[in-house]
Amino acid sequence: MKACEKCGSYAINPGRHGRDNTDQGLCDVCFWRKRAAEKERSLAETQRQIIEAAERRGYERAIAECAQVARAAKGDDHA
């Protein structure tokens, strides 16, 4: 039986617990932890892009656009 390459656990179950067959060297915990970290990185990247755009275009306009997007998402775009 193979141990997790990160933490040494033997709980490696590719294809089970919602896992696909990638990262077969990782246990179930490290498999999902890695995906959570990737999601967090992409969220941080989105945040960085929004701030950058706001600085480029001026905060007031960016905030107005964000408010518009938020209203549209709520289905209330006539405000």
Give contact residues for Zn ion (rule: CB under 5 A). 4, 6-7, 9, 27, 30
Contact residues for 1 (Cβ-Cβ < 8 A; gap 6+):
10
Please report the sign of the dihedral spanned by the C-alpha atoms of residue 12, residue 34, residue 24, residue 1.
negative
Residue whose token pair is 């246990």:
27
Compute the least distance from the CB of residue 72 to Zn ion, in Å.
42
Q: Which is nearer to Zn ion, 7 or 70 (CB)?
A: 7
Q: Which is nearer to Zn ion, 7 or 63 (CB)?
A: 7
Q: Which is nearer to Zn ion, 6 or 53 (CB)?
A: 6
